[in-house]
């Protein structure tokens, strides 16, 4: 299965079109459900970091979920089963890349599902949807 | 508007009592959309007639609109206030991330009242306002302030940090508010109002979702607009070289104000052109939130320390056409590196780059003519092109080191009223001149525009589109009026003016419908006129008289691409513009 890849964060201009695209999957505006984030490396003059799930084959987030709400995804990464999720936030702490975000309104994590919708909107080829395993 | 759209929430902040509250005002937005429309209404409600701009009753109003957080290139926040610089209408728009953050924190507008007893900064998020002690930040540069707040507060990537520098604290009337290091509420002195209120900074944090009337329609319209924006040639032009692309064409036309507009061609234009910057200094391009264009260009300036060999600092400095004109050709500086040094100082002191350059240009000519001497300049000898002297003068202005520099800190209109040299004091309605001596269109915009900004109605572009024979005062006044009316709607959205070729009335009507606003094209035109006339009424109530505006003699003496400009033409244009503003009022 395909997975999203950050090809070159140094090409990122910080337009956040990927974040807004991710939210538009839901049909709404804003960024509460954005599973990808762009932030500065401590002030925007130092450049930008693109933070998104790497589709781990052995995801630490799934390992710590107390209620089996994070199901390992074929091809790496996880899929959230919202009904099982307690909103404890352990997954967020477990993610080494800090790529699990939080929707304050729902009280649940927001995690990339590797659909590649955001990559279609990146104007500067920072993101691609790549076939095969991320850690293959 | 949609019932669950947080746009209707107006956040009120009282700095004197350190209290805040939220009022839901759907009708305010239903009638005025947002941005300029809403802010002008709130200003009318909040700002009493006859006060000094430093009066605690002078409010700071920030407003966003329905398109922010929903559509591309809707990236601006509108600030309104009584201007410390002109004493009249203050309105300034900034890009960066503030519009997205404010909208996604769940507010349509913020009204800041009163004055704090101690320096504070505000953290605004979905839960309201936190008042933070800023005594330890008072006196710090713009970049040091940003760094401190960035490390102290949370929300990296979802926040916007607005701050002032020393110039805002001392009350330089054209001091600015900087956001995200590289964007500004630049003009008309919002920085001085922050300073008067002892408000050092604001950190806006937001990340909520926004409702739409029809999810499928929203996605389709979004894709259509993004495609149209990407196909716009201007977008590519501004992405490639940035607004600095305009240096060479304006110079070739003989429209680039040079040495306080004694000339209109600069012999070193190539050395300060967009092409030169891009080839030699460009290090990074950036975008405002939700903008596919990315017109922000950063130069990397490597400067050696003089006390130790092989010891350098590298600074990233943003450049644009207007700051290059004002601190380049206008003061005779023909080196890109020299301009960057000036801009770095200007940005860190928290001055408006455009007014600063024009002030230095006036001071240089006043010194040349002997209107002021070394006693006034504290021993400095300003001359065109002398970067090192200008750097020292900028510090004196920011700290208002003596009476002369305190006068310069109030702009060229005031300084020339004190020391003479009014004929070459390049200000319109009290606001220093933008970088266009293209013809009647440009100057009629500077005079008639409600902010006295080139962006009010973009007259410079009509100078380039129309031949001299086609231009009459009547025709020009009507064109500029219609353009300014339209821009009221664009800035109520709040969309960047770079999107204007795509975001016409018809498109804006469709955009607003996605948020449940029912405005047809004719309704939008009527609202645009209403907003513009409201702003004009604000100015008139404070003594503004369009037909009595001073026209700097210098613009009539220095030949433009449309020939020598006649005062009578501009006076006729002003009279017609006035009648347009006052008809139906």
* pLDDT tens string B311-320: 999 999 999 9
Nearest to B219 among A17, A27, A31 (CB): A27
Q: Which of B68, B219, B236, B284 to mutate to test the interface with A (most CBs of A within 10 A)?
A: B284
In angstroms, the CA B175 to CA A84 distance is 54
Helices (H), chain A: 17-24, 60-64, 90-94, 117-121
Nearest to B291 among A15, A24, A29 (CB): A15
Domain assignment of residue A89, given as a range: 3-130
Cβ-defined contacts of B464-468 (< 8 Å, 24+): B464/B253, B464/B438, B466/B441, B468/B439, B468/B562, B468/B563
How remote is the C-alpha of B188 from its chain's centroid? 8
Q: Which residues make up the CATH 3.60.9.10 domain(s) of chain B? A: 6-205
CA distance B128 to B108: 13
Task: List the 552-581 stretch of B: residues with Cβ below 8 A of A.
Answer: none
Contact A13 B147 (CB under 8 A): no
- Tell me which chain A residue has its CA closest to the CA of residue B317: A45
For residues B504-515, average pLDDT? 98
**Average pLDDT in the B351-370 region?**
98
String of DSSP letters for B112-157: EES--SS-EEEEEETTEEEEEE-TTTTT--HHHHHHHHHHHS--TT
At residue A32, the pLDDT reads 96
Backbone phi and psi for residue B20, each to the nearest 5 degrees, phi listed first: -145, 155
Cα B573 from Cα B444, distance rounded (Å): 7
Residue pair B498/B490 in contact by the 8 Å Cβ criterion: no
Nearest Cα residue to B426 out of B548, B256, B333, B555: B555
Residues from chain A that touch B215, judged by Cβ atoms under 8 A, are: 26-28
Residue pLDDT, tens place only, B156-189: 889 999 999 999 999 999 999 999 889 999 999 9
Closest by Cα among B132, B125, B106 to B18 = B132
- Per-residue DSSP letter, B499: G
Q: How far is residue B174's CA from residue B475's CA, in Å, rounded to a whole number?
A: 33
The average pLDDT across B123-141 equals 98
Coil, strand, or helix at residue A99?
coil
Residue B343 with chain A: CB contacts under 8 Å: none
- DSSP letter, residue A42: S
Strands, sheet with B60-63, edge to edge from the N-terminal-most edge strand: B19-24, B9-14, B109-113, B60-63, B77-82, B89-94
- Cβ–Cβ below 8 Å for A29 and B211: yes
Residue B238: per-residue pLDDT: 87
The pLDDT of residue A132: 80
Touching check for B240 and chain A: CB below 8 Å? no
Residue A63 inside a domain? The answer is yes
Chain A residue with the nearest C-alpha to that of B515: A29
- From CA B284, how far away is CA B303, in angstroms rounded? 18
Q: What is the pLDDT of residues B199-243, one digit of tens each?
A: 999 999 999 999 999 999 999 999 999 999 999 988 888 889 999
Lowest mean pLDDT among B25-34, B420-429, B460-469: B460-469
**Rounded to a whole number, what is the distance in Å from the CA of A7 to chain B's nearest CA?**
17
Provide the number of CB pairs (under 8 Å) joining chain A to chain B.
Answer: 106
Closest residue by Cα to residue B111 from B17, B190, B43 = B43
For chain A, the farthest-separated pair of C-alpha atoms sits apart, in whole angstroms, at 42
Give span(s): CATH 1.10.599.10, chain B. 431-582
**Residue A135: which pLDDT band, with cuts at 50, 70 and 90?**
low
Whole-number Cα distances in Å, A119 to B209, B375, B563: 20, 62, 52
pLDDT in tens, B246-302: 999 999 999 999 999 999 999 999 999 999 999 999 999 999 999 999 999 999 999
Residue B112, chain A, CB below 8 Å: the answer is: no
Give dist(CA B137, CA B144) in Å, integer. Answer: 8
Decide if B286 and A30 are in contact by the 8 Å CB cutoff: no
* Residue closest to B442 by CA, chosen among B467, B462, B460: B460
Chain-chain contact of B207 with A30 (C-beta, under 8 angstroms): yes
Question: Could you say which of A29, A34, A123 has the minimum Cβ distance to residue B70?
Answer: A29
- What length does chain A have? 136
Facing residue for A13 by CB, picked from B69, B156, B285:
B285
Q: Taking residues B50-70, what's their average pLDDT?
A: 98
B76 contacts B491 by C-beta, under 8 angstroms: yes
Distance CA B162, CA B97 (A): 10
List the beta bridge partners of residue A101: A110
Residue B585 scores a pLDDT above 70: no
Q: Are B101 and B206 in contact (CB under 8 A)?
A: yes
Chosen from B157, B178, B205, B240 to mutate, greatest number of chain A CBs within 10 A = B157
CB contact under 8 A, B208 and A20: no
User: Is residue A121, in this structure, part of any structural domain at all?
Assistant: yes
Closest CA to B99 of A27, A132, A29: A29
* Residue B283 CB neighbour total at 10 angstroms: 14
Q: Which two tokens stand for residue B349?
A: 């002191």
Q: What is the mean pLDDT of residues B461-483?
A: 94
User: In the Cβ-directed half-sphere of B326, how many Cα atoms lie within 13 Å?
Assistant: 23
Q: In Å, what is the CA distance from A97 to each residue of A100, B75, B351?
A: 8, 29, 39
Nearest-CA distance from B150 to chain A in Å? 7
Q: What pLDDT is stored for residue A45 in this prediction?
A: 81
The total domain count for chain A is 1
pLDDT, tens digit (0-9, with 9 covering 90-100), for B99-116: 999 999 999 999 999 999
Q: What is the ipTM of this complex?
A: 0.95
Q: Which two tokens stand for residue B523?
A: 């309704």
Helix, strand, coil share (%) of chain B residues, nearest 5: 45, 15, 40
Count CB-CB contacts under 10 A for residue A96: 9
Taking an 8 Å cut-off on Cβ atoms, the answer to whether A37 and B180 are in contact is: no
Enumerate helices (H) and strands (E) in chain B, giving the number of each.
Answer: 24, 18
Task: Give the number of other CB atoms < 10 A from CB of residue B465.
Answer: 10
Structure tokens at B416: 């020339």
Q: Do B219 and A37 count as a contact with CB atoms less than 8 A apart?
A: no
**Model pLDDT, residue B584:** 67
The minimal CB distance from A44 to the residues B158, B180, B294 is found for B180
User: What are the pLDDT digits (tens) for B321-349?
Assistant: 999 999 999 999 999 999 999 999 999 99
Q: A46 pLDDT band (50/70/90 cuts)?
A: confident
Percent over 90 (pLDDT), chain B: 96
By the CB < 8 Å criterion, does B184 face chain A? no
Pairwise CB contact (< 8 Å): B219 & A24: yes
B63 with B80: CB under 8 angstroms? yes
Q: What average pLDDT does the segment B437-448 reach? A: 98
Give the Cα separation of B286 and B320 in Å (integer): 13
Please determine, looking at this structure, whether the domain spanning B240-419 carries the CATH number 1.10.569.10. Answer: yes
- CB-CB: which of A17, A45, A51 is closest to B290? A17
| C-alpha angle B157-B491-B74 in degrees, rounded to nearest 5 | 35
pLDDT of the residue at A47:
87
pLDDT classification of B195: cutoffs 50, 70, 90: very high
Mean pLDDT across chain A: 94
B475 exposure class (CB count in 10 Å sphere: 0-12, 13-18, 19+): middle
B158–A44: do the CB atoms touch at under 8 Å?
A: no
Domain assignment of residue A135, yes or no? no
Q: Which of the four pLDDT bands, split at 50, 70 and 90, describes residue A41?
A: confident
Specify burial of residue B583 (Cβ count, 10 A radius: 0-12, 13-18, 19+).
Answer: exposed
CB B429 within 8 A of CB B453: no
Domain B6-205, CATH class in plain words:
alpha beta
Q: Tell me what pLDDT residue A24 has.
A: 97
Looking at the partner chain, which of B212, B292, B298 has a beta carbon nearest the beta carbon of A17?
B292
Is the pLDDT assigned to residue A119 strictly greater than 90? yes
The CATH architecture annotation of domain B431-582 reads Orthogonal Bundle (1.10)
Question: Which CATH number fits the domain that encloses residue A22?
Answer: 3.30.70.20
In which residue ranges of chain B is CATH 1.10.569.10 found?
Answer: 240-419
pLDDT at B233 (0 to 100): 87
DSSP annotation of B565 reads P
pLDDT in tens, A98-111: 999 999 999 999 99
Whether A136 shows a pLDDT value over 90: the answer reads: no
Asked if B212 lies within 8 A of A105 by C-beta distance, the reply is no
């Amino acid at each position: 299965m395909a997975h999203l890849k950050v090809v070159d964060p140094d090409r990122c201009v910080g337009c956040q079109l990927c974040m807004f695209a991710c939210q538009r999957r839901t049909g709404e505006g804003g960024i509460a459900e954005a599973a990808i984030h762009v932030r500065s490396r401590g002030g925007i003059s130092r450049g930008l970091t693109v933070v998104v799930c790497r589709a781990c084959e052995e995801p630490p987030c799934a390992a710590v979920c107390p209620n089996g709400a994070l199901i390992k995804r074929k091809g790496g990464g996880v899929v959230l089963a919202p009904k099982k999720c307690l909103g404890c936030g352990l997954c967020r702490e477990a993610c080494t890349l800090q790529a699990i975000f939080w929707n304050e309104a729902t009280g649940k994590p927001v995690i990339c599902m590797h659909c590649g919708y955001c990559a279609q909107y990146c104007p500067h080829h920072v993101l691609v949807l790549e076939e095969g395993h991320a850690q293959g | 508007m949609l019932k669950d759209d947080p746009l209707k929430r107006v956040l009120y902040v009282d700095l004197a009592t350190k209290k805040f509250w939220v009022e839901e005002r759907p009708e305010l937005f239903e009638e005025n959309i947002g941005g300029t429309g809403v802010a002008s209404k709130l200003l009318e409600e909040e700002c009493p007639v006859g006060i000094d701009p430093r009066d605690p009753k002078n409010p700071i109003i920030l407003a966003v609109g329905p398109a922010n957080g929903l559509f591309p290139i809707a990236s601006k926040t509108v600030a309104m206030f009584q201007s410390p610089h002109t004493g009249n209408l203050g309105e300034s728009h900034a890009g960066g991330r503030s519009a997205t953050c404010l909208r996604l924190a769940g507010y349509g507008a913020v009204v800041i009242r009163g004055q704090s007893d101690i320096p504070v900064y505000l953290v605004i998020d979905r839960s309201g306002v936190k008042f933070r002690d800023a005594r330890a930040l008072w006196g710090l540069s713009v970049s040091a302030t940003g760094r401190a707040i960035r490390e102290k507060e949370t929300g990296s990537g979802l926040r916007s940090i607005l701050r002032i520098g020393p110039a805002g604290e001392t009350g330089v009337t054209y001091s600015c508010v900087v956001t995200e290091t590289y964007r500004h509420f630049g003009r008309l002195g919002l920085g001085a109002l922050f300073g008067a209120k002892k408000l050092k900074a604001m950190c806006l944090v937001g990340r909520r979702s926004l409702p739409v009337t029809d999810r499928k329609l929203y996605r389709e319209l979004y894709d259509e607009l993004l495609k149209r924006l990407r196909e716009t040639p201007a977008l590519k032009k501004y992405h490639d070289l940035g607004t600095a692309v305009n240096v060479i064409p304006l110079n070739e036309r003989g429209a680039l104000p040079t040495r306080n507009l004694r000339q209109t061609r600069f012999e070193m234009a190539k050395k300060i052109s967009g092409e030169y910057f891009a080839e030699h200094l460009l290090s990074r391009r950036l975008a405002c939130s939700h903008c596919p264009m990315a017109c922000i260009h950063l130069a990397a300036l490597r400067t050696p320390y003089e006390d130790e060999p092989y010891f350098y600092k590298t600074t990233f400095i943003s450049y644009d056409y207007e700051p290059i004109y004002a601190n380049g050709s206008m003061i005779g500086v023909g080196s890109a590196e020299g301009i960057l040094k000036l801009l770095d100082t200007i940005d860190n002191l928290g001055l408006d780059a455009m007014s600063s350059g024009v002030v230095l240009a006036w001071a240089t000519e006043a010194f040349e003519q002997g209107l002021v001497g070394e006693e006034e300049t504290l021993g400095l000898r300003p001359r065109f092109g002398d970067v090192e002297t200008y750097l020292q003068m900028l510090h004196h202005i920011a700290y208002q080191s003596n009476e002369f520099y305190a006068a310069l800190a109030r702009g060229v209109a005031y300084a020339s009223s004190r020391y003479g040299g009014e004929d070459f004091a390049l200000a319109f309605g009290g606001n220093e001149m933008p970088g266009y001596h293209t013809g009647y269109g440009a100057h009629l915009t500077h005079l008639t525009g409600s902010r006295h900004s080139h962006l009010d109605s973009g007259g410079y572009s009509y100078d380039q589109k129309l031949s001299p024979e086609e231009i009459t005062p009547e025709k020009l006044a009507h064109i500029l009026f219609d353009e300014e009316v339209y821009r009221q709607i664009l800035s109520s959205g709040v969309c960047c003016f770079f999107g204007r070729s795509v975001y016409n009335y018809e498109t804006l009507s469709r955009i607003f419908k996605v948020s449940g606003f029912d405005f047809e094209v004719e309704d939008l035109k009527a609202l645009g006129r209403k907003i513009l006339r409201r702003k004009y009424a604000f100015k008139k109530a404070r003594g503004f008289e369009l037909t009595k505006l001073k026209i700097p003699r210098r613009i009539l003496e220095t030949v433009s691409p449309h020939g020598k400009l006649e005062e009578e033409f501009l006076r006729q244009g002003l009279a017609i513009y006035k009648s347009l503003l006052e008809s139906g009022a």
